[in-house]
Amino acid sequence: MTPKTLQSSVWALVRAQHGVVSRAQLGAMGFGREAIRHRVERGRLHPVRPDVYAVGRPELTAHGQWMAAVLTCGDGAVLSHGSAAALWEIAPQRTREIDVSVPSGRRPKRRVGIRVHRRTALGESEVTRCAGIPVTTPPATLIDLAAALDRGRLERAINEADKRDLIDPETLRAALDAGVQRPGTAALRRILDRRTFALTESELERRFLALARRAGLPLPDTGARVNGYTVDFHWPDLGLIVETDGLRYHRTPSQQSSDRRRDQAHAAAGLTVLRFTHEQVAHEPDDVQATLSRVARRAR
């Protein structure tokens, strides 16, 4: 390899790795100890982690810091837990320490600013790359988060992953079923079971009508045609429509577009549209009832 070709290869690798490179990678390209030392003395390489260098200048982006942490932990290391969530942009990183997982057989030296997790099992299906950084997949990341976050923060992380099209109920459930049981598995399964929960049509109608009655609403029309659409529940005198969705999240773009068109048609006709999920009707009845009461009072 000519010097020009070698230099080009190094820069291509550095760009792909957000400005950092490891000693092992440099060695594989033919840079010996003295060559590396010379470049450090000349200010071309800047040590940022043990055996990891920033190239050109020492300042690193967050992605560069994450990549450097993975590289310093050696073969098989991947970004995980809170740091993986931050990389996927599904939850903010809550500590300054960077989370890195390594295979259980490896015992990397303790690194300042890095929290190392030794994993007894981390299959190929649980590891991928995001922005070129080795990282746990979104489902695996959510399982790790579930062991550390309370339900509210975990719900928000799931919502963000859904909005970014990183997960759907089927792949998330498959990951829970196929993976090794971990501390967060049970908590995540409980949330998933509630989110994908669907009542039968008759049971949904029975429960919802009971809530509407307790909220002081009269009996609605069910399955009526309004503005060219079949709606779940309609109160003509109140100008109120209620729709119930079987899944709380990850409706497809076409479903979302259809929902918007329906709601916009009703709004243009001067109607109020509320949407509740089956989960809300079954597990959060007080909130549903309170909302119905407030909207009914305003409508009157």
Q: What CATH number did the domain enclosing 223 receive?
A: 3.40.960.10
What is the pTM (predicted TM-score) of this model? 0.71
The answer on 125 and 218 residing in a single domain is: no
The answer on 134 and 106 residing in a single domain is: yes
pLDDT value for 174: 81
Mean residue pLDDT of the chain comes to: 87
Beta strands of the chain (E only): which ranges?
A: 20-22, 45-49, 52-55, 78-79, 98-103, 114-119, 127-130, 133-136, 221-222, 225-226, 229-230, 233-235, 240-245, 272-277
Number of domains comprising the chain = 3
Nearest-angstrom CA–CA distance, 69 and 78: 9
Give Cβ neighbours of residue 81 (< 8 Å, ≥ 6 apart): 99, 101, 115, 117, 136, 141, 144, 145, 148
Q: What is the pLDDT along the chain (300 residues), one digit of tens a residue?
A: 555 566 677 788 999 999 999 999 999 988 899 999 999 999 999 999 999 999 988 899 999 999 999 999 998 999 999 999 999 999 998 888 999 999 887 777 788 899 999 887 677 788 999 999 999 999 999 999 998 888 888 888 988 888 888 987 778 888 888 766 777 888 888 888 777 766 778 888 889 999 999 999 999 999 899 999 999 999 999 999 999 876 544 456 677 778 889 999 999 999 999 999 888 898 899 999 999 999 988 877
The answer on 219 and 178 residing in a single domain is: no
Helix, strand, or coil here: 98?
strand
The answer on 102 and 7 residing in a single domain is: no
pLDDT value for 30: 87
pLDDT value for 3: 58
What is the H or E stretch that residue 280 is in?
helix 278-283
pLDDT value for 87: 98
The answer on 223 and 207 residing in a single domain is: yes
The answer on 148 and 268 residing in a single domain is: no
The answer on 185 and 79 residing in a single domain is: yes
Strands 114-119 and 98-103: parallel
| Eight-class DSSP state of 113 | T
The answer on 285 and 228 residing in a single domain is: yes
pLDDT value for 2: 57
CB 217 within 8 A of CB 238: yes
The answer on 286 and 218 residing in a single domain is: yes
Helix 151-163 to helix 138-146 angle (10° resolution) is 170
CB atoms < 10 A from the CB of 236, how many? 12
Expressed as residue numbers, the domain containing 44 is: 3-55
The answer on 72 and 26 residing in a single domain is: no
Q: Of 109, 253, 125, 235, nearest to 180 (Cα)?
A: 125
The answer on 182 and 160 residing in a single domain is: yes
The answer on 262 and 218 residing in a single domain is: yes
pLDDT per position as a tens digit, 217-271: 999 999 899 999 999 999 999 999 999 876 544 456 677 778 889 999 999 999 9
